[in-house]
Chains A and B, each alone.
Chain A
Amino acid sequence: MAHVAWQYLVFIFIACCGVLQAAAAYSGLKGLMLIPRRLPSFVLGLALVVGAFIWFFSADNRAPPAGWPVLEGAQQVLVFGVAASLAVGSTALVTSLLRRRTDKQPNPRQEGLEALREQGYLQAVSRRWRRG
């Protein structure tokens, strides 16, 4: 079971990182993009998602005979939540480090994800912290 759970965690983590890149490119959230241009970011995102699916479904038989380890529904939900959170956290961290010197002056009125159009996640948090 642990082996399947690890494979599923890695699969969801990579796929969620890909979806985040595609969604950030679509929304123009430069603060979450690994590549500062939209089209390459979108392509990178799609490649990560497709690659993750191909790897996961070719690595093992996903409809094994009875008695073989499978992830039950609740376990899938749990692992998905952990992997998606890790994907959001690591994307926010890496993109913040990549963008720490390339910031334009962000619009202070933007809030939520909108605030990540011109600044990284950590930059947005630290600006809010300084504003109090």
Chain B
Amino acid sequence: MKSLVLSGVVATLLVFSGCSDKEPVVDAPAQEVEATSTAQEVEAVATETVSSEASDVSSVASELSMADIEAQLSSVYFDFDQFTINTDMQEKISTGASIAKAAALPYNVKLEGNCDEWGSDEYNFALGLKRASAVKKALVAEGIEESRISMVSYGESNPVCSDKNKECWSKNRRVDFKLLP
């Protein structure tokens, strides 16, 4: 209804404007263009250069998607002083394996083992590595090629949380998934 009223108003305005065009036309002399000896240079037209890397549509798309895929892979958490995978963490590994078989297929998987601050020295590094190794075995069991998976341990040196409480410590006992091109 509203649109009908509006188009009515517009039509009326058009009719009225046609009627008001009654002004006499004055024939003005044509203005001469002065010739000058030196032409003034105008600004160059702005251009944009697309570099060869940036012009490759496929590489930009895949870079973005690698980070995106990595964000979908959630860390696997472990119990105090343990490197066996709990049943509630098995689901995360299965999800990780499905992603690795589909969207992350062009990439290799790096597993980073980490520990809480309880423990020290070399034992903690080994514990982190055994955690990464446990996740690797689980991924292989889910059908991921062993050659695609590499591991590293950071012991207690790469914490995501540095508070002194149990929630924080449990967040640090983890294996992170990283993708490598």
A binds B: no
Interface residues of B (CB under 8 A from A): none
